[in-house]
Structure 1
Amino acid sequence: MPETFVRGEVVYLRHWQRDRLGMVVPQRVVEDRGDAVVLWVAAGTRGWHFNMPDGRGITATPLPEWSSSERVPAPHTIGHGALTWVPRGRDYSIRWFFTPEGHFYRWYGNLEAPSVTWRDGDLAGVDTTDWDLDVVIDPDRTWRWKDEEEFADRLAMPDSYWVDDEDRVRRAGKEIVALVEAGAFPFDGTWCDFTPDPSWPATPGDLPPGWDRGRPA
């Protein structure tokens, strides 16, 4: 059974690239709907990318070197608010982006492996593998693919890339596009006026013990 969460608790969203972490971001649980988890991250939250020890990120590092090397956490500040709907068993999540002042300005279809929720003592998280190709959707529901060139380039290096099924990724994107063009949930205006609970404190600014625990089976 998938782990369930309680409103207001902090969970760590972790993006994996095979057996190495690519990103960790603390999130606040808005609700666990059974079929989906809804998460919130406020503008100004500290998250972590995982870069080469010399500071290079993925775009500055040849993919074979990137995939075979140990990497270290590099903190960064989230510049916008994001509400994320993570449906269980789907090949994507949907994000609502908000300005620091709280105004909705874009949806973002993040193509990814179905999420796995976990709990280990006081630590909890949501794990997935980001598939790089994404769909950006404006408030008027015009949409466009994002990172198509990077996706195609990396698919040409299957020994080093963590994505191995281009058709599946594109099917997930097309599923999102169909919902956008139909004006159906989650693109029907739901949560565009979201405001976080003002009683929620800022999420932790340091990685907690256990952040690097292995992937759930």
Structure 2
Amino acid sequence: MPVGSDSGWYVNLEAEKQRDHLGVTSVDWHLDLRVSPDFVVTWKDEDEAAAAVQTEYLRERDLEAARETGQAIARDPEGFVDAIGHWEGFRPAPGLDRPLALPDGWDAPASG
């Protein structure tokens, strides 16, 4: 997608983040939505979510929660976008339209 184009909103459905002794954790429900600029909602990754349940990576009740959340958004996509904010006029700073280059060794185990 070219910089400056409005492709709508991508909604990543996931569990509410929880803080515990390990830090912050969340579960990606694998099921996602796309809301087009004219507020048409389409489901994404239904096959991925079903596979995650089959492999027991995702619990059935989590997939049900994802569907309920997505259905609530789909009932009023304009209200959802109003709640999260309109970004149609956003443009990245000059030079940010190319991929970030990570430095060599960024993924090496920490020494020490």
Q: State the one-letter code of the partner of 2:47.
A: E
The aligned residue for residue 8 of structure 2 is 106
The aligned residue for residue 131 of structure 1 is 29
The aligned residue for residue 44 of structure 2 is 146
Q: State the one-letter code of the partner of 1:100.
A: P
Higher relative contact order (CA 8 A, sep 6+): 2
Q: State the one-letter code of the partner of 1:102.
A: G
1:20-169 paired onto structure 2 within 5 Å: 99-115=1-17, 128-158=26-56, 161=57, 163-164=58-59, 165-169=62-66
Provide TM-score, normalisation by structure 2: 0.65
Q: State the one-letter code of the partner of 2:63.
A: E
Partners of 1:135 and 1:145 lie apart in 2 by 5
The aligned residue for residue 176 of structure 1 is 73
Pair 1:100–1:108, CA change in 2 (3 A):
same
Contact 2:13 2:31 in 1 (8 A): yes
The aligned residue for residue 198 of structure 1 is 94
Q: State the one-letter code of the partner of 2:79.
A: A
| CA-to-aligned-CA distance 1:60-99 (integer Å, 9 cap, x gap) | xxxxxxxxxxxxxxxxxxxxxxxxxxxxxxxxxxxxxxx3
Structure 2, unpaired ranges of 5+: 19-23
Q: CA RMSD in A?
A: 3.6
Displacement after TM superposition at 1:113 (Å): 2.9
Q: State the one-letter code of the partner of 2:32.
A: D
Pair 1:201–1:141, CA change in 2 (3 A):
closer
Partners of 1:201 and 1:101 lie apart in 2 by 6
The aligned residue for residue 37 of structure 1 is none
2:8 partner SS: strand
Partners of 1:157 and 1:136 lie apart in 2 by 25
Larger Rg: 2
2:48 partner SS: helix
Q: Which has the higher helix share?
A: 2
Q: Which has the higher strand share?
A: 1
Partners of 2:108 and 2:5 lie apart in 1 by 31
Pair 1:115–1:212, CA change in 2 (3 A):
farther
Displacement after TM superposition at 1:134 (Å): 0.6
Contact 1:111 1:169 in 2 (8 A): yes
Contact 2:31 2:63 in 1 (8 A): no
The aligned residue for residue 23 of structure 1 is none
Displacement after TM superposition at 1:115 (Å): 4.6
Provide TM-score, normalisation by structure 1: 0.37
